[in-house]
Every structure is written in structure tokens, then in C-alpha cells.
């Protein structure tokens, strides 16, 4: 069984657990030990004496293939962006090749910037799984469940069976895990939402859904359903510890308490919400109530990147200025959103560096000018670093990025193929 080590001048085992000058020893696909001395017999050492070694980031909400729509339709409100630009473009251009290449591009971008796991919902999700396996990144994937035809399924009456068959193909994969993904309350009938949740219960899976993203979504639900999206999902029995709700921007105090009571996890997407002017999610209030808040980037059509370090930094600063309180969402809390909280939401034993846990870890170049001097490594991760500082990436015990170079991606070939698709879309 192969063993190697990752050396750090600072090893961030968790947001509030940092040790100096240690080696993280990887054996097989787990962490064997964290020790100040390099064990005998280990000849391969990543990282370095000035570097930060930490858990890999877990992106709890994205649409990987939408990297190929990066910059396609900017500076628009959500519903205009979706209905007038994204939905028509998806109907015209999204196919298996599009999803596969877009997901390869996303997995390359995510691993190069320190993400070791992501939660995705889109179409042709088998192709996302294929790309994730090739690059070597963990993925939680959900085939989109909708009440109308989608690029991957023209007959919406078959959408639950379509998702069921997708689940069956990935249940035993060690790196790719299926989820159930009804898009939203406004794109699924009540019966479809109940069937989707029952499917998640049947296979004991994460149930992910967009929820209360915009004020107009909430108002529409009040008019058509007689209650808010959160209360409506609860009335259907769809809120529980398996529920991962993306956005949750427009909530009242009772809804926040309800999410906490039901054990729901929330994927906060600060940059996407800012760019689409959807609003500012009440993250401090959710955390105070005991909601498990995590971080997602959303897709590249509305962000427009997958850099989790930048996302954490934006979230931390956004909530300080929106509350006019610099103590809100401190660096340790912010880091937890993208690591241990996120792992908990996906029901995964990662997010921390400890013996016996999965070997998903990264190193940041401590010699980079923006990381010198280093008084507080956690502060640097949140407020000073960026994705280009990621030096090494290990996922499931395998080295995916070494000394800034991707080991699992044919970068030049991928760039050529993605540019070819861009030209095809540009002629549309």
C-alpha cells in the first residue's frame, strides 16, 4: 500500500485546530498519522516547510457543466437570466458532449483551486460522473427532476424513473455518489416533490433543491400555494437532515427556526446571489439558530468561477458589511463552512485532517508573496489566499495536483475542445 507525506509549516487540522511543522502521512486512501517527524521509508513528500496544509474544500452547490456558459449572459436578474437566456441555450446546446467537456473543465478548475469534492445538479449527470472519475475529484451528483422536458429527458412523466436509473448506476462507486435533485418548488409539482423525496429516502441519499432564492420566488409561492417555499416543502415532509437547500436568501425568523429544527443544511452562494441581485442570505441568523450552513459557488454562468477560497472570503466580508459588525462570520467560522460543515451536509466523514479520515487535503504555497508574513494561517486562507496559491491536491489518497501541475487532465486538448464549443455557441 503506497504511503507518502504532505509537509506543512502549518497544518490546519480544523478551523480551530492548527499545529506547527508537521507531516500528514497518507497510506492508501486515508490519513495514517500527523507527526512532527517524517517516518522511515517514506520517500515522496509534497508541500514544504513554509506551506499551509489543510482539508480540501467541499463545494456544496454548483452546476459543473455550466462552465461552458461562463460569461454567456451577465448582469441580469435571475428569472430573466434563466427564462430568456439560460433555459433556451440549454435546450439548444446541452448534450452529452457539452456536459462531459464542461464538467472536465470544472473539475480541472476546482482541483487546481483546492476543491476536493463538489455537489452538482444538472442534466446528463452520468457525464459529470465520468469527468469526475477521470480527474479524480469526489462528486455528489443529481439528475435534474423537472415538471417539463429537459435536455436529457423529453418526457417529464418519466423523470423519477430516469433519476432512479441514474442512482442505480452510481450507488457503489467509491468516488461518485448519487443524490436526488428536484430543481425547485416553482419547477416541480407537489406530487413530483413528494416522489423525489421518497426516492431519496428509499436509497438513503442527499435531497438537494434550490430554495427561496429570490423575493419573487417567495411571492409567487405565497400567491399560488398559499405559503412560502420553505413552509410548503415542510408541509410535504421534504425537510430533514438529508435536505441540502441551496441559497435560502429570503427567510423569516420562523423559517430559520424550522430549518434548524428539521436539521436542514443550507448551501450559501454569496457571489452568485450578489451578481444576480437575489439578496443577502441571513447566514449569521441561521448559524445562531443552529442551521448547518455551508458554501457553494453555484455555476459559472452566474458567479463566474469555482474558486472556493474566493467564495469564503466574499461570504465573510459580505456579512460583516451587511450587519455592520466586523466580528460576524470570523475566519474560523468561514473556513468551517467550506470544510467540516460542508462534509456534514453531504454525510461524508471528511472536512478535517485526522488519522483514519479520508485523505482529501491540499497545500498552499507559503512562499507566495500574498501569504507572507504568516501570523495566522486560517486568516490567510480566508482573507489573503486565492485559488492560484494551491500547490498540491490529494483526493482519496491519490495525488491529483503536484507542485501546481494537474496530473489527471490533458489541459491543452481540453482547452481546444472547450473553445470549439464556445465557437459553436457564438454562432447561435
Report the chain's mean pLDDT, rounded to a whole number: 96
d(CA 158, CA 326): 50
- Flag whether 68 is in a domain: no
Give CA separation, 233 vs 79, 114, 184, 229, in Å: 21, 34, 10, 6
pLDDT for 21-72, tens place per residue? 999 999 999 999 999 999 999 999 999 999 999 999 999 999 999 999 999 9
- Flag whether 47 is in a domain: yes
- Flag whether 42 is in a domain: yes
In the chain, the percentage of residues whose pLDDT exceeds 70 is: 100
In the sheet where 30-35 sits, what is the strand order? 30-35, 17-27, 3-14, 45-55, 361-364, 390-395, 398-402, 405-406
Question: Do the Cβ atoms of 29 and 50 come closer than 8 Å?
Answer: no
Cβ-based neighbours of 195, under 8 Å, separated by 6 or more: 160
pLDDT for 221-253, tens place per residue? 999 999 999 999 999 999 999 999 999 999 999
- Flag whether 14 is in a domain: yes
Tell me the whole-structure pTM to 2 decimals.
0.97
Q: What is the pLDDT of residue 360?
A: 98
Q: What is the CATH number of the domain that holds 52?
A: 2.30.40.10
pLDDT for 140-186, tens place per residue? 999 999 999 999 999 999 999 999 999 999 999 999 999 999 999 99
- Flag whether 304 is in a domain: no
- Whether the per-residue pLDDT at 282 is higher than 60: the answer is yes
- Flag whether 35 is in a domain: yes
- Whether the per-residue pLDDT at 428 is higher than 50: the answer is no
The tally of domains found in the chain comes to 1
- Flag whether 260 is in a domain: no
- Flag whether 402 is in a domain: yes
Q: Within 10 A of 36 (CB to CB), how many other CB atoms are there?
A: 10
| Full residue range of the structural domain in which residue 363 is found | 3-56+353-406
Amino acid at each position: 500500500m503506497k504511503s507518502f507525506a504532505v509537509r506543512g509549516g502549518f497544518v490546519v487540522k480544523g478551523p480551530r485546530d492548527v499545529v506547527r511543522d508537521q507531516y500528514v502521512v497518507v497510506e492508501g486512501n486515508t490519513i495514517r498519522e500527523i507527526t512532527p517527524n517524517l517516518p522511515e521509508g517514506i520517500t515522496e513528500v509534497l508541500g514544504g516547510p513554509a506551506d499551509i496544509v489543510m482539508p480540501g474544500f467541499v463545494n456544496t452547490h454548483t452546476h459543473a457543466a455550466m462552465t461552458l456558459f461562463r460569461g454567456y449572459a451577465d448582469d441580469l436578474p435571475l428569472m430573466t437570466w434563466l427564462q430568456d437566456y439560460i433555459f433556451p441555450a440549454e435546450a439548444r446546446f446541452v448534450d452529452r458532449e457539452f456536459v462531459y467537456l464542461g464538467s472536465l473543465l470544472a473539475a480541472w478548475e476546482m482541483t487546481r483551486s483546492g476543491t476536493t469534492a463538489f455537489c452538482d445538479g444538472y442534466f446528463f449527470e452520468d457525464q459529470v460522473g465520468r469527468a469526475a472519475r477521470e480527474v479524480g475529484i469526489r462528486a455528489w451528483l443529481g439528475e435534474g427532476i423537472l415538471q417539463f422536458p429537459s435536455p436529457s429527458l423529453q418526457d417529464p412523466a418519466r423523470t423519477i424513473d430516469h433519476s432512479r436509473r441514474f442512482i442505480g448506476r452510481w450507488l457503489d462507486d467509491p468516488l461518485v455518489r448519487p443524490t436526488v435533485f428536484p430543481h425547485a418548488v416553482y419547477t416541480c409539482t407537489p406530487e413530483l416533490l413528494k416522489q423525489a423525496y421518497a426516492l431519496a429516502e428509499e436509497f438513503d441519499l442527499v435531497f438537494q433543491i434550490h430554495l427561496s432564492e429570490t423575493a419573487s420566488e417567495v411571492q409567487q409561492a405565497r400567491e399560488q400555494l398559499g405559503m412560502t417555499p420553505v413552509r410548503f416543502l415542510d408541509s410535504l415532509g421534504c425537510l430533514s437532515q438529508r435536505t441540502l437547500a441551496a441559497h435560502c436568501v429570503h427567510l423569516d425568523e420562523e423559517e430559520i427556526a424550522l430549518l434548524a429544527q428539521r436539521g436542514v443544511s443550507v448551501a450559501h452562494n454569496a457571489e452568485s446571489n450578489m451578481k444576480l441581485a437575489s439578496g443577502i442570505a441571513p447566514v449569521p441568523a441561521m448559524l445562531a439558530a443552529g442551521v448547518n450552513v455551508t458554501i457553494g459557488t453555484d455555476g459559472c454562468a452566474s458567479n463566474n468561477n469555482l474558486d472556493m477560497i474566493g467564495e469564503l472570503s466574499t461570504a465573510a466580508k459580505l456579512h460583516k458589511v451587511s450587519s455592520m459588525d466586523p466580528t460576524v462570520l470570523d475566519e474560523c467560522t468561514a473556513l468551517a463552512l467550506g470544510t467540516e460543515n460542508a462534509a456534514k451536509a453531504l454525510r461524508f466523514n471528511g472536512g478535517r485532517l485526522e488519522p483514519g479520515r479520508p485523505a482529501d487535503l491540499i497545500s498552499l504555497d507559503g512562499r507566495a508573496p500574498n501569504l507572507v508574513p504568516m501570523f495566522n494561517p486560517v486568516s490567510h486562507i480566508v482573507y489573503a489566499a486565492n485559488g492560484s496559491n494551491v500547490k498540491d491536491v490529494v483526493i482519496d489518497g491519490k495525488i491529483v495536483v503536484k507542485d501546481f501541475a494537474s496530473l489527471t487532465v490533458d489541459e491543452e486538448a481540453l482547452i481546444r475542445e472547450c473553445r470549439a464549443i464556445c465557437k459553436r455557441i457564438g454562432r447561435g
